[in-house]
Every structure is written in structure tokens, then in C-alpha cells.
Amino acid sequence: MAGLTQGEIARKLQGEDLDKWLELWRTEQGPAKRSSLELMAAAIPFPTNSNLRVLDICCGPGDAGRAVISRFPNASVDFVDRDLFFTALCSAVNQRDGVPGRTLVRDLVDPNWHRDFAKNYDVVVAANGLHWFDMKEAAQLFRDVYELLRPNGSFLFMEPAGPEIAFAEGFGAWKRAQPSQHKSADWTKFWSSVNDLLGYDYVKELGERDDSHIDDKLSVIGWIELLRAAGFGSIDILLRDPEKVIVAAIKS
């Protein structure tokens, strides 16, 4: 069966229990994600009654953008992802919950992905999406984010981070002794549910991951260097745990 359009996927989601889908994804993303997103939202340096303009890139179902809304109820959020299932789910949840803003299907590797965006966002957030890019693409995406923010706007992201080579052996041994955040059974459960809903092998159509992706290979300092190269300042590491780093920066 040929792949469905985003509109057809949206129709398949009508009548579905959207909270069940969000919960399946939450489980797939691991138990630490909720508090990590709360930390990102807590660190946004604006009064909570601000009418913030927020952009969630690689939004998936929209967890990061809606975490911002839960602290800034007057914010509006634009959500961007290339995945048709995720954008359909994100859009359905946002409509149900009255979240103001747009949900757009865009491939962030396309140099024109932000062609029709106003360049005045107060905040850009990203969760677990930037490591899908190779280094050259990520460097360009960080420059795009810089351009899209207004002066003094904030960029916050959480991404997998590896150790520097000198510390890799010991860090790896310690990490293996920590409780794992991700179970492959949860990944399978989520994506097999998507396949069942859509009626074909959606995951197969997404294609294979290739080795050029950053994945968990970039160190914390590597992420910071990407920020510095794009022009960001006031860079802070909000959290570093066995798997990921949460970083915040300001367009200076």
C-alpha cells in the first residue's frame, strides 16, 4: 500500500484516544523526559504571563512546545517536523487542547524550510531531534535558529551527549550500570501501533538510519561549539545525565 498523506493520517486519528497515543510515546521516550522538559520550560528567562512566540523544531507529537505552554499560558507555539504521523498527532492534540500556533510539515535539512517564518521568535526549543542531523546539517540548523530568534531570544535543547574520548571508557562503564531510560520493546510497541492504525508498514517507509547522524557521538562541548559557531552566548548546561545534556543559550 502506498503511503498516506498527512490529511489521510489525520482522518485515521479522528476518534482515537489521543492521550493513549501521547502516553505510548511518553513511555517510549523514557521516565526522565517529563522532568527534563519541565526544567527547560522553567529556565526560559521571561515572565510567565508573556505572550511568547515559541518554535518547537523536530517537534514529534509536540511534548516540548506544550511543556512551554504549561508554564507560559499566553504563549503561541509553532511546531515543525518532517514526519507526517507525528505532525498529524501534534496538530490533533493542539486543536483539542486549544494550543495557539501552527503545525508544519518541513524537512529542516531543506535550506528553505523557514521561508515563510517571521524572524521574531522569543524561544526555540528542541528535544531529542537534533542528533538526527549530521554535523554540517546541524551547524546550518543552529544558524537558522539564530536567524529566527529575536535579539535576546533563547534556544533550549535536550539531546543525547557522549563523553570526551579521554573519559569514554570509564564513563561508558558507569553509564552501563545506570538504569536504562529506553527499552526497545517500548519503541516497537509505539511504532507497531502506528503501523496497525495506518494499515501498512509506515516505519519501513521512513527508511534506514545512516551512520552520518550525530546520534550520541557528540560531547557536551561539541554541542556548545555548535552554539558558539552560530553566534549564541550566555550558554549554560542545565543538566547532564548518563544519556543526555540540556543546554540553554541566548541570541546575543
Instruction: Indicate the residue among 70 and 252 with the shorter CB distance to ligand SAM.
Output: 70
Q: How far is the CB of 9 from ligand SAM (least distance, A)?
A: 13
Sheet holding 103-105, edge to edge: 103-105, 76-81, 53-57, 121-127, 149-160, 244-251, 232-240
Distance CA 215, CA 238 (A): 20
Q: How far is the CB of 151 from ligand SAM (least distance, A)?
A: 26
Instruction: Indicate the residue among 4 and 58 with the shorter CB distance to ligand SAM.
Output: 58
Residues that bind ligand SAM (CB under 6 A): 29, 58-61, 63-64, 81-83, 86, 107-109, 127-129, 132
How far CA 125 is from CA of 22, 63, 184, 208, 247, in Å, comes to 19, 10, 26, 26, 10
The dihedral built from the CA positions of residue 190, 76, 129 and 206, taken in this order, carries a sign that is positive
Q: How far is the CB of 160 from ligand SAM (least distance, A)?
A: 10
Q: How far is the CB of 55 from ligand SAM (least distance, A)?
A: 12
Distance CA 82, CA 179 (A): 31
